[in-house]
Structure 1
Amino acid sequence: MAISILLALLSLWTTNALRQVPCYFIFGDSLSDNGNNNNLPTLAKVNYPPYGIDFPQGPTGRFSNGRTIHDFIAEFLGFNISIPPFAKLVGENISNGVNYASGSAGIRDETGRNLGDRIPFNIQILNHICITSRIRLRMRNNSATNSLLNRCIYSVQIGSNDYINNYFRPESYNTSRLFNLSEYTDRLLQQLSGQLQTLYDRGARKFAVFGLGLLGCTPFAISEYGTNGSLCVDKLNEAATIFNGGLRPLIGQLNNHLPNATFTYLNPSGSQADLATFVSNSSCCITGGGGGELCLRNSNPCNRPRRFVFWDGVHTTDAWNELVARSAYSTNSTLEASPLNIQQLAMR
């Protein structure tokens, strides 16, 4: 038994020698999904062209022309392969990490049902518990498994749909009639706190938690709601601001109250200087698919997607994802990463 455990640990050490962390687990929505929605009955899936036009394997279920933010972060961390989606785990080394993210998913279980089936954060966590159980069985040693999981990074980027496909969809949800915006956000953050603590209870210690981007500045939001003379949809940006304003202190509280845990807050919006070098007021592809925000199937996109922030009406391009991922990984700005960037988190 001791020899088999030693060999397993030696194999893991050799495989991961060039990585900054042994594994990377990803939770979230369409900004992170890399194929988990492909076989679900939902409008929120993109396993068709022109999605993936700049990705080596073509359309994979990534809501972009190329890589997601988390593809880039995994690369920066030293992984030489993409983290596999939970829905397609066939023979992959699950101890490298798993992507559980699902388009239209939210913190709340009902979020996104207006678009069809999805995998809410609570179910993503249950899927992760299944994976950690498999890792424990394979390693046959709880302390070794705990040591492995303690050193992994757990990325959580979720919450956008709880507004755009829940609170601000009164025709499908009653949340805006039950709560004002601040009350609703407090409930979201309280639920998110419990979900993060559940991951902690299953061995997670290093958390990269992303705030919300400017929900009201997407091309789809502007066309859907109008701006009343503003540059963006103010009520959506207000929601994101309130959420992020509550998430930052929550990160501090979790750091203070959960022994040996390190949480960091990341801002995915990019700087004004970055935005000035991109086209940010229109989509690269012709939209109208999904719920209206996705690229039309087999349509011809723009010629220079690297100049655009948005690939479709909501989701960002490979070029913008690389910029945001690089910032999350190595920025020294506390406005973009607090208290640590991902490179510093990996070294903890």
Structure 2
Amino acid sequence: MESYLKKWRVVFVLLSLGLSVVKAQQVPCYFIFGDSLVDNGNNNGLVSFARANYFPYGIDFGGPTGRFSNGKTTADELAELLGFNGYIPAYNAVRGRRILTGVNYASAAAGIREETGRQLGQRISFSGQVRNYQNTVQQVVSLLGGETQAADYLKRCIYSVGLGSNDYLNNYFMPTFYSSSRQFTPEQYADDLISRYSTQLNALYNYGARKFALIGVGAIGCSPNALARSRDSRTCDNRINSANQIFNNKLRSLVDTLNNNHPDARFTYINAYGIFQDMITNPSRFE
């Protein structure tokens, strides 16, 4: 089911951005921000339990790479559909002109809040990923010969951002390690996340990003982790899903605000929660 979700998410992004699914490369570069769903090796060198550079990870990919899957991630699928010759490299492994095709900054266990995922060890939070992107931009300026050339180049690239799941699973709904659920109501917590999210998105905008695909939080109350904690190992945790929906609704509103404030940019909301729910409700559509 997860593979279907990934493919539908990819197609939805392409359609939302007005791109056709063809072999020719559609955009000059693709930049990726996120967590374990799209991490392709950035955590390999970190002191962390959130690593996937060992078997059985990668068994359908020729071996473990740091991807938290048996094979390709959503970002890999999208890179293929966008016509890239190869996958977008991890930030910790890319050098030189290779950055001109884009960089993957995602880090497993990362969240919008700085402390999210700390019980798992080192990880690169959203703000840290943005700082790494800013370092990349300085290199792009040098490679292309100036800020004007770099800005013209970067405005044609796609930026996908998918964070927030860990802020719930590895923060808000983990009261043994975090106090956030005692400090904030679900509404207040979502407001805090959106405020931090907005700050980082504006930082990306200020460093040349113009085409954004913002992926909402999926139905993580139905994740294997959440199901394992239920009484029958099959019932979704509605507390988590309800909190996710609050965040997603606020993210939709943020997208509208950003589009109004930045008319030269395009922000698109990707309804991952709705896609997942549609698969559960109408499984025959995905056979």
Does residue 40 (structure 1) correspond to residue 51 (structure 2)? The answer is no
Task: Name the amino acid aligned to 2:79.
Answer: A
Instruction: Quote the Cα distance in structure 1 between the aligned partners of 2:84 and 2:184.
Output: 43
**What are the Cα deviations for residues 109-149 of structure 1, in whole angstroms up to 9, with x where unaligned?**
11110110000000100000000000101111221110100
Residue 248 of structure 1 corresponds to 252
Q: Which moved more, 1:267-276 or 1:215-224?
A: 267-276
Cα gap change, 1:132 to 1:49, in 2 (>3 Å): same
Residue 107 of structure 1 corresponds to 112
Cα gap change, 1:227 to 1:153, in 2 (>3 Å): farther
The alpha-carbon deviation at position 173 of structure 1 amounts to 1.1
Task: Name the amino acid aligned to 2:212.
Answer: F
Instruction: Quote the Cα distance in structure 1 between the aligned partners of 2:131 and 2:233.
Output: 44
Cα gap change, 1:133 to 1:90, in 2 (>3 Å): closer
Instruction: Quote the Cα distance in structure 2 between the aligned partners of 1:244 and 1:189.
Output: 9
Q: Is the 8 A contact 1:108 1:120 kept in 2?
A: yes
Residue 236 of structure 1 corresponds to 240
- SS of 1:216 mapped into structure 2: helix
Residue 187 of structure 1 corresponds to 192
Does residue 22 (structure 1) correspond to residue 28 (structure 2)? The answer is yes
Task: Name the amino acid aligned to 2:242.
Answer: E
The alpha-carbon deviation at position 91 of structure 1 amounts to 4.7
Q: Pick the aligned partner of 2:264 from 255, 260, 263.
A: 260
The alpha-carbon deviation at position 229 of structure 1 amounts to 9.7
Q: Is the 8 A contact 2:227 2:233 kept in 1?
A: no
Give ranges in structure 1 of 5+ residues lacking alignment. Answer: 1-16, 279-322, 324-348
Does residue 132 (structure 1) correspond to residue 129 (structure 2)? The answer is no
Residue 53 of structure 1 corresponds to 59
Cα gap change, 1:92 to 1:115, in 2 (>3 Å): farther
Cα gap change, 1:272 to 1:164, in 2 (>3 Å): closer
Residue 83 of structure 1 corresponds to 88
The alpha-carbon deviation at position 230 of structure 1 amounts to 7.8
Cα gap change, 1:273 to 1:29, in 2 (>3 Å): closer
Residue 146 of structure 1 corresponds to 151
The alpha-carbon deviation at position 211 of structure 1 amounts to 0.2
Cα gap change, 1:166 to 1:272, in 2 (>3 Å): closer
Cα gap change, 1:267 to 1:273, in 2 (>3 Å): closer
The alpha-carbon deviation at position 274 of structure 1 amounts to 3.4
**What are the Cα deviations for residues 80-121 of structure 1, in whole angstroms up to 9, with x where unaligned?**
210000011245610100000000000011111011000000
Instruction: Quote the Cα distance in structure 2 between the aligned partners of 1:223 and 1:62.
Output: 23
Alignment of 1:327-346 (within 5 A): none
Instruction: Quote the Cα distance in structure 2 between the aligned partners of 1:104 and 1:81.
Output: 25
TM-align CA RMSD: 1.9
Q: Which moved more, 1:87-96 or 1:40-49?
A: 87-96
Greater helix share, structure number: 2
Length-normalised TM-score, structure 2: 0.87
- SS of 1:163 mapped into structure 2: helix
Q: Is the 8 A contact 1:111 1:162 kept in 2?
A: yes
Cα gap change, 1:258 to 1:72, in 2 (>3 Å): same
The runs of at least 4 aligned residues of structure 1 exceeding 6 Å deviation read: none
Q: Is the 8 A contact 1:227 1:233 kept in 2?
A: no
The alpha-carbon deviation at position 18 of structure 1 amounts to 2.9
* Matched positions, count: 261
Task: Name the amino acid aligned to 1:235.
Answer: R
Q: Is the 8 A contact 1:84 1:92 kept in 2?
A: no
Residue 75 of structure 2 corresponds to 70
Length-normalised TM-score, structure 1: 0.72
**What are the Cα deviations for residues 174-196 of structure 1, in whole angstroms up to 9, with x where unaligned?**
11111111101111001101110
Give ranges in structure 2 of 5+ residues lacking alignment. Answer: 1-22
Alignment of 1:154-165 (within 5 A): 154-165=159-170
Q: Pick the aligned partner of 1:171 from 163, 167, 176.
A: 176
Instruction: Quote the Cα distance in structure 2 between the aligned partners of 1:220 and 1:174.
Output: 20
Percent identical among aligned pairs is 50
